[in-house]
């Protein structure tokens, strides 16, 4: 790593809240500071997404890539290797501990999977070497089974058995790679596992194939002794009109239907939550309460926009409420916060790569600090405890304990007048709670 | 039934497709005509929704009711009784066989549930009497647990145990009523079973209460020997910001989590599907393939509008594709097609009640005819069979039979060149299929 | 005002940021504090919406009102008068200077407009009397032409000429009232001025009638010497499927088409902006840059929800960016910030009326402080100035001055290589700017 | 044209409605048949979009192109020329009379505009030659000012003056080309004329530049004697977060603000209408009633999907209602129906290019036939005439004639009782009209 790819940026230090203008310093992320009993770096387990940060050129469906990158001009394996070198310089300067990658982000395809795997192995050898030197870890890796035209109608849910076979072979290599590079998790985002039209789709047969595929993957992971978490990442639509892993609840239904809920957990993304009509907090809570919270793709969308923006997080409300769930969960375990995010196409300089990660890391760090403070003061906890207190004793406790039935409850309620029933309800105080939340954000982050 | 409530409208006859203008005659609904092996009336099991048709005045959040109804001016039990009389005249003139009702649609509340039940019982006595005279049946009844302020934060998921108890007592009466009037189904639409804000909500505790409630309801139904189907009706939002029964898949996850999937099935509504980001066909297919298709609320929304319109169905595409799933399902069993729909607020005359049901009944009748024709000619069936044929033998059959694993699949795929893989895929022909669908609609309905 | 309606709440003082829990004190709103050259009260001109705060009971389309109000139980003119008394106690305790009302909020209808006006006049006499005693002012009044069934298909755009006439008479009284109570503005929100279906609508004829109506209103205002601003309030849909004043731009097109842009300005609401697919800032900027910014309805929606929530504002981002436009505009002139907002249906106590206004007023006060700081430091101004600087001299200045045409520009550009063209573009730095915005919010509000 | 590019498809004949399966024949499009006083080909003026049909490979943001095309493997000018040859074979086989193209669709860019224009000129020479041989016409051409990174922040609204200059030079060539190839129209779709964030945008300055650009374009068109229509094409978002030409009404506001409404008209697209929250009919009617209907991009979206699908039209309702407006307009004049549409990515064979155009052409042909029948029978016309008849005489006529004011209207209305006012309103009969529409579709198309 003697060559410098980002000569204009030095290691990003923690600088605190002195300067109002954004710059190359963290206002909140102080990696080794212990808060709520853990180092910030261990609460977060921040990860850089290889595809967005090193793999893509900021193209969109209406335009070519705008990105100015130090590796522009290179091709093939030369490009792939330069990106590896640049990526480790980037991680080091950012002070992140993890990265995530798809197989196809890091090395080019050959004509056969054997040739493709050879390229991949050569690059992952480099990863292993650099990881040894630097201590960097892989949060997760995954297989890109949506870009190549062979996956036009899905991979494991493809109507074409040869494609299923190819996908299996590709994920086999993915799991081998996960073991090799020590990935904490292996992720399945169902790129084209869904349908474009019900007119030509056997949804049940496709879902059965998909389930079978996940079982085979888990079997293979076990066989090779891979101990990372296996994760499914929901998204409701795009590129397909309907994706089978629509949202957390839909994916849980699928997992329960096919006996996968003991083996797989969820990787949840903010922008995907919004596209499904949910807040990010909703999706995380749904998974957490089901015991299935695996890892987070930390990004944000624009709720007025109907496609996946993968913006870097900057919204302190969303980050606070996401981290609130993480704190409730006691942290993310093997999971982490992966920035499945890219700078806007108009933020095309190398410096923007740093600015974008800084706003993302500082926003979630701020969110963590506010969440811990809210928990410490039991702000919502006490309110909620009081709100549901009628279930802590008496009739409510009997209901929870299964000691009553419709007949006993009927006896209890049948002569209660409306005034008494109304008196049993309490204001939910949403406006007051939102005001309090504002105060906690400001006071904690000042 | 000597008094006439709708003197301007006679019994609606089947008239066929001669007249182009809509009028008081069916173009497609020929109740006793046998198609696809059943009478049209038995395929459809059309039901009038008491609340929309007799219970409401076409108010909206910005305006008072506009409806001109023969019972305007009456109040209390007089009003309730007049509506019963008028309703049976309406059923008779429409030629429908079923109706559906909430408890609070048909009789006014008293100060206590005991008083309320007394009113309800008096009206359901009338129902039973009129049913005997006419042969009319109840498709389903349900409990309104969302209008009264006591349900401000839910019923079975209320944070307040007294409200849970009241809800239990109310549903007890509802199930007793179901047995009394012979309802084919008993429905739970989770009016306010959801949350307004996660800041003050213990989602898990609420869902556990909800599940417990459904178990108690099933127990009570069993105890009294009620043999109708128990159904949950999904809706994603409105009135709550998030409703727990968001869509079919979410409700299936809930049912599986709490062991309710053997006891309950689904009642699916078109407009609710759209609000959740799905087509109606998607929701029906999801339920059908899970073996959980119970009954249908036949209405439509406007996908550009973000609230529940409950329009009468008029879209031949949606009706055809919904009925296609029904035909695939071999009919609806104990379920039926309930018009959970109201005329627009500007369609305020009694005549509009008839026009609205006519367009709804004819649209679904047309949909049935087209669906049967498509099935008969195996239009989509053959296409789908061919599309997935690689799973019928060889490698695909081995995959389905569980005879292969990642290693054998890897051996199969690892040296296949890209050209061979691409050759394994086939065009999905969506444009061709849509064109064919148009032709079937026109040719069948001419 | 000897009777006390809200005995549990005293006058809300400014308390500063000491206490983290929301309570009956302002953290940011310090009415007489001078910031940016004006008192906070004069920047804001906060107004209470009579309809939401005193007129309604927190019902929704699925449920009856839940509100516990000190006037519950009263009816008719007794109710109307009690509300007046309570309202002035509320204004006083909140420390707001303005209120807004519809004619139908404040007094009941009679059978004829003459009787209705008599009721209204009696109440507005009370207003005038209380205004004298307290110094309270009316920000705007308006006519409710959407609730009564006679307006089923619109008022000024009704297909029925008698309804147009009635609407004209009603607005005549409205303008007389505006003059009498000294309203700073008179507002037209087009409740049902739109269509439910194009199949039965002559859109052009309806819009011509609407324009004629606005001209007559302006003529009448002039005739009686009413000097307040006349304002149109856009909303895209709800209750109608399409409302003619869809958004700011659509309303500007309408105003320009019918020669109304010299006479009318815009009243813009946050939730309406979102329903039209825009941010609130977008709508305000559109109006501001057109010279048509009249007044603001300060509320917020939930962008994942498709109907009008009219939430009290609590989002510091939206409030900051809205106030940024207000500061750019040099204030709101005769306009103000009216809380067209209601507590959630589950926030049903009288105390919630206060909490809700507190979070609203503090959020916009906070927004003002941040906006002034951003302007003072020219944070966005300098960035924008630099970004467009190529238009300040040379070719860009010639373009703006109209000194060039396609031929001279062709000569300039035709031989420029791609590298030179790319070098003319600069990063938009969106991520950096969002990070900076976070810092300004925190640092200003600490 | 001796080489055959599409050997598997012959000229598509009119075959009528005999065969139910879609195939290589028109069921409704009978080009020279006279209906409603014109040949079908002249009502429609169908146009193939060069970019979708010959220029693209069916890639999407998550995947590479899947299209199997006879020119795959060629590059540079060889590719460009092969596409020209193939395109004319395609037009001939389809029997369409027009095509549309962007400059960058048809020929590759060089390093400078001079080199780029040279390539373009060479291809448009071929166009002219083939047009002479075949009689094919260009409906419109346009400039792609969104793909190249130089347009990252817009073209005429770019913050960078050099880019404005380049855009001007590019459109100069575009107008020269329009004259050369005889385009009936020249279209401006504002690809990146909008903003990504208001934080870094001077919206007014950008819009002033845009307006200036359109004036210069119109001046140059006049100068060279180009007599085609100049058209703006609205789209609300994508690729930019907000596009300045949001919808028809917004574009009309812009045109009126900057004095462009005498010079420019509108080109309206179905999918863009939906993305803006409107039906296609709404957008066309808005333009038609403003006298600004220029041309149509005939495609459809999926209203449950938030991005631009550009599907080929297959919905008989939308096509009928769009054509209803066209018939009301007396045809499209210089405009036409351009299929701004592509087969789905999974419809990747050359045959799908034909199937897709067939469903599009037949759907709009069907729509024309239904629309003419509806007009002939005055179905909606008579209903609307009756609905608004109170404005044809008496008070209503006085209102329209400007003979009344608020005072005279007040005198008229002030003593009318509620019963009389209600009696002045009539049911809108939406359900009945929708049923009638279904009957007309079926009966006309059988
Ligand atoms: Co994403
Ligand atoms: Co992701
Ligand atoms: Co509904
Ligand atoms: Co329903
Ligand atoms: Co509103
Ligand atoms: Co408002
Ligand atoms: Co488009
Ligand atoms: Co277009």
Give pLDDT tens digits for D350-407. Answer: 999 999 999 999 999 999 999 999 999 999 999 999 999 999 999 999 999 999 999 9
Residue D425 corresponds to which tokens in the numbers above? 């309103």
CB atoms within 10 A of CB C289: 20
What backbone torsions phi and psi does residue A338 show, to the nearest 5 degrees? -95, 130
- What is the predicted pLDDT for the residue at D171? 98
- Chain A residues inside the 8 Å CB shell of D152: 63, 66, 345-346, 348
* Ramachandran region, residue D191 (left: φ > 0; alpha: ψ -120 to 50; beta: rest): alpha
Taking one residue from A and the other from C, the number of pairs with CB-CB distance under 8 angstroms is 151
Selected for mutation to probe chain B from D442, D443, D444 (highest B CB count within 10 Å) is D442
Peptide bond into C259 cis (omega under 30): no
- Contact status, residue C348 vs residue B152, Cβ threshold 8 Å: yes
| Predicted confidence (pLDDT) at residue A1 exceeds the cutoff of 90 | no
- What is the predicted pLDDT for the residue at A399? 98
Rounded average pLDDT over A296-303: 98
Q: Which of D66, D149, D302 sits opposite A149 (nearest CB)?
A: D66
Q: How far away is chain C from the Cα of A113, in angstroms, using its nearest Cα?
A: 38
Task: Residue A87: name the closest of A61, A118, A44, A124 by CA.
Answer: A124
- What is the predicted pLDDT for the residue at D56? 85
ipTM: 0.98
Strands A264-269 and B229-233: unpaired
Q: Which of B105, B247, B352, B362 is catalytic?
A: B105
- What is the predicted pLDDT for the residue at D55? 93
By a Cβ cutoff of 8 Å, what residues of chain A touch chain D?
A: 60-66, 146-149, 151-153, 191-192, 196-197, 237-239, 241, 275, 302, 304-307, 344-346, 348
What backbone torsions phi and psi does residue A63 show, to the nearest 5 degrees? -165, 155
- Chain D residues inside the 8 Å CB shell of B343: 430-431
The C-alpha angle D397, D401, D406, rounded to 5 degrees, equals 90
- Contact status, residue C332 vs residue C40, Cβ threshold 8 Å: no
Q: What amino acid positions of A are annotated as catalytic residues?
A: 102, 105
Selected for mutation to probe chain C from B66, B152, B206 (highest C CB count within 10 Å) is B152
Distance C311 CA to ligand 4 centre (A): 27
Q: Which of B27, B102, B209, B278 is catalytic?
A: B102
The verdict on a CB contact (< 8 Å) between D196 and A344 is: yes
d(CA B89, CA B10): 10
- Chain C residues inside the 8 Å CB shell of D236: 277
- What is the predicted pLDDT for the residue at C2? 67
The verdict on a CB contact (< 8 Å) between C149 and B64 is: yes
* Ramachandran region, residue D267 (left: φ > 0; alpha: ψ -120 to 50; beta: rest): beta
Distance A189 CA to ligand 2 centre (A): 7
Rounded average pLDDT over D1-11: 88
Q: Which residue of D has its CA nearest to B350?
A: D427
Tens digit of each residue's pLDDT (9 = 90 or more) over C422-446 = 999 999 999 999 999 999 999 999 9
Residue A110 corresponds to which tokens in the numbers above? 């050959």
| Predicted confidence (pLDDT) at residue A2 exceeds the cutoff of 80 | no
D261 carries a ligand binding annotation: no
What backbone torsions phi and psi does residue C242 show, to the nearest 5 degrees? -135, 130
Q: Which residue of B has its CA nearest to D341?
A: B431
Residue B193 corresponds to which tokens in the numbers above? 């079973």
Nearest bound ligand to the CA of residue B309 = 3
Q: Which residue of A has its CA nearest to C275?
A: A304
By a Cβ cutoff of 8 Å, what residues of chain D touch chain A?
A: 60-66, 146-149, 151-153, 191-192, 196-197, 237-239, 241, 275, 302, 304-307, 344-346, 348
Question: Rounded to 10 degrees, what is the CA torsion of C107, C109, C113, C115?
Answer: -80
| Predicted confidence (pLDDT) at residue C1 exceeds the cutoff of 60 | no
Task: Residue C308: name the closest of B273, B307, A302, B246 by CA.
Answer: B307
- Chain A residues inside the 8 Å CB shell of B388: 159, 202, 205
Distance (Å) of CA D56 to CA B32, B423, C266, D190: 54, 21, 44, 20
The verdict on a CB contact (< 8 Å) between D347 and B430 is: yes
Residues 6+ apart with CB under 8 A from C165: D395, D399, D404, D409, D412, D413
Nearest bound ligand to the CA of residue C342 = 5
Rounded average pLDDT over C155-182: 98
DSSP lists the bridge partners of residue D311 as D300
Task: Residue D151: name the closest of D196, D114, D208, D100 by CA.
Answer: D196
10 Å CB burial of residue A76 (0-12, 13-18, 19+) is exposed
10 Å CB burial of residue A37 (0-12, 13-18, 19+) is exposed
- What is the predicted pLDDT for the residue at B420? 98
Rounded average pLDDT over A72-91: 97
Rounded average pLDDT over C127-138: 98
Question: Rounded to 10 degrees, what is the CA torsion of A19, A20, A24, A27?
Answer: 80
- What is the predicted pLDDT for the residue at A446? 92
Tens digit of each residue's pLDDT (9 = 90 or more) over B313-367 = 999 999 999 999 999 999 999 999 999 999 999 999 999 999 999 999 999 999 9
Task: Residue C336: name the closest of C114, C81, C136 by CA.
Answer: C136
The verdict on a CB contact (< 8 Å) between C427 and A352 is: yes
Helix residue ranges per DSSP H, D141-198: 161-181
| Predicted confidence (pLDDT) at residue A225 exceeds the cutoff of 80 | yes
The single residue listed with the structure tokens 């309103």 is D425
Distance B318 CA to ligand 1 centre (A): 30
Rounded average pLDDT over D430-434: 98
- Chain B residues inside the 8 Å CB shell of A111: 417-418
- In terms of residues, how long is chain B? 446
- Chain A residues inside the 8 Å CB shell of B175: 406
The verdict on a CB contact (< 8 Å) between B399 and A165 is: yes
The verdict on a CB contact (< 8 Å) between B147 and C64 is: yes
Distance D66 CA to ligand 7 centre (A): 20
DSSP lists the bridge partners of residue B229 as B185
Q: Which of C30, C97, C103, C105 is catalytic?
A: C105
Task: Residue B37: name the closest of B241, B319, B331, B360 by CA.
Answer: B331
Tens digit of each residue's pLDDT (9 = 90 or more) over B365-416 = 999 999 999 999 999 999 999 999 999 999 999 999 999 999 999 999 999 9
Tens digit of each residue's pLDDT (9 = 90 or more) over B103-138 = 999 999 999 999 999 999 999 999 999 999 999 999
Rounded average pLDDT over C158-180: 98
Average predicted confidence (pLDDT) for chain C: 97
The verdict on a CB contact (< 8 Å) between D434 and B359 is: yes
- Contact status, residue C170 vs residue C217, Cβ threshold 8 Å: no
Distance D170 CA to ligand 8 centre (A): 20
* Ramachandran region, residue D16 (left: φ > 0; alpha: ψ -120 to 50; beta: rest): left
Peptide bond into A345 cis (omega under 30): no
10 Å CB burial of residue A330 (0-12, 13-18, 19+) is exposed
- Contact status, residue A172 vs residue A141, Cβ threshold 8 Å: no
- Chain D residues inside the 8 Å CB shell of C253: 249-250, 252-253, 256
Residue D15 corresponds to which tokens in the numbers above? 């075959």
- Chain B residues inside the 8 Å CB shell of C147: 62-64
- Chain C residues inside the 8 Å CB shell of A313: none
Distance B299 CA to ligand 4 centre (A): 8
d(CA A118, CA A403): 64
Q: Which of C274, C362, C435 sits opposite A22 (nearest CB)?
A: C435
Q: Is the dihedral of CA A312, A317, A322, A326 positive or negative?
A: positive
d(CA C296, CA C234): 11
Peptide bond into A141 cis (omega under 30): no
Rounded average pLDDT over B28-45: 98
The verdict on a CB contact (< 8 Å) between A219 and B406 is: yes
| Predicted confidence (pLDDT) at residue B166 exceeds the cutoff of 50 | yes
The verdict on a CB contact (< 8 Å) between D216 and C162 is: no
pLDDT band of D2, cuts 50, 70, 90:
low
Distance C357 CA to ligand 5 centre (A): 16
The DSSP code for D240 is S
pTM of the model: 0.98
- What is the predicted pLDDT for the residue at B246? 98
d(CA A221, CA A230): 9
d(CA A52, CA A356): 11
Q: Chains touching chain A at 3 or more Cβ pairs under 8 angstroms?
A: B, C, D
Identify how many contiguous H helices and E strands chain B contains and give both numbers: 17, 12
| Predicted confidence (pLDDT) at residue D1 exceeds the cutoff of 60 | no
d(CA A189, CA B440): 38
Distance C272 CA to ligand 5 centre (A): 6
Residue B437 corresponds to which tokens in the numbers above? 């669908």
Distance B138 CA to ligand 6 centre (A): 44
A357 carries a ligand binding annotation: no
The verdict on a CB contact (< 8 Å) between B166 and A413 is: yes
Q: Which of B60, B148, B152 sits opposite C61 (nearest CB)?
A: B60
Task: Residue D359: name the closest of D345, D370, D374, D344 by CA.
Answer: D344
Q: Which residues of C111-146 are buried (b: 16+ CB within 10 A; e: fewer)?
A: ebbeebbebbeebbebbeebbeeeebbbbbbbbbbb
The verdict on a CB contact (< 8 Å) between D351 and B430 is: no
d(CA A258, CA A243): 17
Rounded average pLDDT over B236-244: 98
Based on the residue annotation, tell me whether C439 is a catalytic residue of this protein. no
Q: How far away is chain B from the Cα of C115, in angstroms, using its nearest Cα?
A: 20
């Amino acid at each position: 790593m003697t060559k410098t790819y980002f000569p204009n940026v030095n290691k990003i230090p923690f600088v605190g809240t002195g300067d109002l203008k954004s710059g190359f310093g963290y206002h909140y992320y102080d990696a080794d500071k212990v808060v709520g009993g853990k180092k910030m770096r261990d609460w977060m387990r921040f990860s850089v997404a290889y595809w967005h940060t090193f793999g893509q050129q900021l193209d969109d469906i209406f335009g070519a890539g705008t990105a100015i990158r130090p590796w522009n001009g290179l091709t093939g394996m030369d490009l792939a290797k330069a990106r590896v070198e640049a990526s480790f310089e980037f991680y080091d300067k950012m002070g992140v501990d993890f990265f995530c990658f798809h197989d196809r982000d890091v090395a080019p395809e050959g004509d056969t999977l054997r040739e493709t795997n050879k390229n991949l192995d050569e690059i992952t050898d480099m990863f292993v070497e650099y990881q040894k030197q630097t201590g960097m870890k892989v949060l997760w890796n995954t297989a890109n089974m949506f870009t190549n035209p062979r996956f036009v109608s899905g991979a494991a849910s493809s109507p074409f058995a040869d494609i299923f076979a190819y996908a299996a072979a590709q994920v086999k290599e993915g799991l081998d790679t996960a073991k090799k590079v020590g990935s904490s998790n292996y992720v399945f985002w169902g790129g084209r596992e869904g349908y474009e039209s019900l007119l030509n789709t056997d949804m049940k047969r496709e879902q059965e194939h998909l389930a079978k595929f996940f079982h085979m993957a888990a079997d293979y992971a076990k066989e090779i002794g891979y101990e990372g978490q296996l994760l499914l990442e929901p998204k409701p639509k795009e590129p397909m009109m309907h994706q089978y892993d629509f949202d957390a609840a839909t994916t849980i239904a699928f997992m329960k239907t096919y006996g996968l809920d003991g083996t797989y957990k969820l990787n949840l993304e903010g922008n995907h939550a919004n596209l499904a009509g949910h807040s990010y907090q909703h999706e995380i809570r749904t998974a957490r309460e089901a015991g299935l919270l695996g890892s987070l793709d930390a990004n944000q969308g624009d709720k007025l926009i109907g496609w996946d923006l993968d913006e870097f997080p900057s919204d302190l409300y969303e980050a606070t409420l996401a981290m609130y769930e993480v704190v409730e969960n006691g942290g993310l375990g093997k999971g982490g916060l992966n920035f499945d995010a890219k700078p806007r196409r108009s933020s095309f300089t190398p410096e923007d790569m740093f600015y974008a990660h800084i706003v993302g890391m500082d926003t979630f760090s701020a969110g963590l600090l506010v969440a811990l403070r809210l928990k410490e003061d039991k702000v919502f906890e006490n309110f909620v405890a009081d709100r549901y207190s009628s279930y802590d004793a008496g009739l409510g406790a009997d209901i929870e304990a299964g000691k009553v039935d419709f007949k006993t409850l009927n006896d209890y309620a049948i002569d209660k007048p409306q005034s008494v029933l109304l008196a049993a309800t309490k204001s939910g105080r949403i406006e007051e709670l939102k005001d309090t939340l504002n105060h906690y954000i400001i006071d904690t982050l000042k």
